[in-house]
Structures are given as C-alpha cells and as structure tokens.
Amino acid sequence: MGARAKEWHPSAAYLYVLMLDGPALAWEYLRRNPDYRANYGLLAGGSDDEAGQAARWGLRLLEDPARDARQAQPAWLPDPDGLPQLHPDAAAAPDAPVFALWRMPGRKQLAHDGQRLLLTAYRPEGALRAAVSPALEHGMAYAYGLAAGARLRERWRAATVTMERFDGYDGREVALPGAHAHAHGRPDRIALLHMRSLQTLDGLAAGATQREIAQALFGAAVVAERWHDLGEMRAQVRRLARRGQAFVDGGYWRLLQSEAAGDGRSG
C-alpha cells in the first residue's frame, strides 16, 4: 500500500471521504485492489493493450492508484449514472444557456478519456460531472445527450439533477432549491461506514491488529472500556473489513449506479 499504509491511523486523513459521491467512492475501493495495482504497474510504461486491460476494471483508461479521489479522474466504462454528455446545439433558441466553463464556480478538473473531455467541478453541495464533446467551445449553446441502452429511465433521472445544475451555472450564480443541503451538518451513516471501511482496509494492509484499528476508529479510551465486552467491538472491525473488501473485490461497480448510490451513497 506504500505511503497510504503509513497514514492510515489518523482519522482526519479520511474526512474527505464523507463528501464523496458514488463514482469517487468506487475509485477509492478500486485503487485498493492489489490486482489492479499490479495491473497498473505492468502497464504504466505504456501498452498497446491498455484499453483492453482497463475495460476489465470498468475503465476506459488505467488511472494511477496512488491518486486518491481528490486528484484522480477515472474514466468509467460504461459512464456512471448521472453523467450527461454535452454537445453543441445546432438549433438553439436565442436565449439558450451557453457553455461557460470558466465562469462555473468551484475547483475544476479536465481529463481526456480518448474521445471526450471529462469535466468535474467541485462544489460544496457535491461534485458536478459531465462528458464534454471536443466540438463544444466556450460560449456555444449546448444540448444534452445520454447513452442508449438498459436502465435508461434510471440513468435519465440521475442525469437530470446534473443537467439542472449545469443550466443554473450558465454564467450566473443561481441557487437551485436544496443546492447546499449537504454543504454542512453531520455526515450520514452510510458515508461514515465508507470512511471507516476504507480506514480499516488500510490498517489491515499496514499489518495493524484489530484492536489497533478499533483504537484509530473509536478512540483508545472507548476501546479500553469496551474491548472485552462480549467481543462487540472486535465484531464491528470485522464487519467493516468484510464490507470494505466486498467493494474492493468488485462491489465498487454498484456505486456507479443511481439505485445503489441514491440512499446515502450505497450500503
């Protein structure tokens, strides 16, 4: 696990996980898969078969597992739910919204997936993601697209939220209803489970005992008081480990679907 194995103990290092959406959480689990890490290491120098190797992990291109979700921009295959495509609108109305990337508030990342630009804009209410056609330029009217295929209704419903936010950022600061509902306040139970599961996985990879992991998660005083209480705390650590490992072993695919991500970013 490299540097991450040395940094698993401070819970503060994992607080960013509480704000991650489904695709970002999926990446956090995939990058901890030892087979994926080995696969990336073999092909890091360049390979004609990179796309084929990436596809087995649900990616268009291999992403560096050393980069966490705040830095990485994995290109998922197929696109995750809620990712609309933006294309030039050849028949736009005069008052149609225009693409104004640099007027969009928040930190932005752009990455090329071999065909399109993947845009991620980080906002207090959550990440805003879209696949932008190379033909779409600043100031041009745009139209939305969505890949045909299974689960179209569910994917369209998830993408609608993103599309409404994009239209609201047409060079203006428009506050959409509920836009900042998750900017502050206590994290939900599922987000906290993801954070603790990832920390548990890193602790195990670093060779920590279950008790040491429990101390990092719940505090030394709590562990000293409850560690021998019918094995409840040991069982919690084991459940977190099993839960996290299930996502690492392929369950991360579920986090790319709106049905799984809708209820607190999956259980």
**pLDDT per position as a tens digit, 34-66:** 999 999 998 876 667 788 899 999 999 999 999
Residue numbers of the chain with a pLDDT score lower than 70: 1-6, 45-47, 170-186, 230, 259-267
Q: How far is residue 81's CA from residue 160's CA, in Å, rounded to a whole number?
A: 10
Exposed / middle / buried, residue 139 (Cβ in 10 Å: 0-12, 13-18, 19+): exposed
So what's the pLDDT on residue 60? 94
Q: Quick one: pLDDT at residue 173? A: 45
Contact 23, 80 (CB under 8 A): yes
What's the pLDDT score for residue 50? 81
Per-residue pLDDT, 112: 93
Contact 155, 81 (CB under 8 A): yes
DSSP 141: B
| Other CB atoms within 10 Å distance of the CB of residue 20 | 23
Hey, what's the torsion of the CAs at 194, 200, 203, 204, to 10 degrees? -130
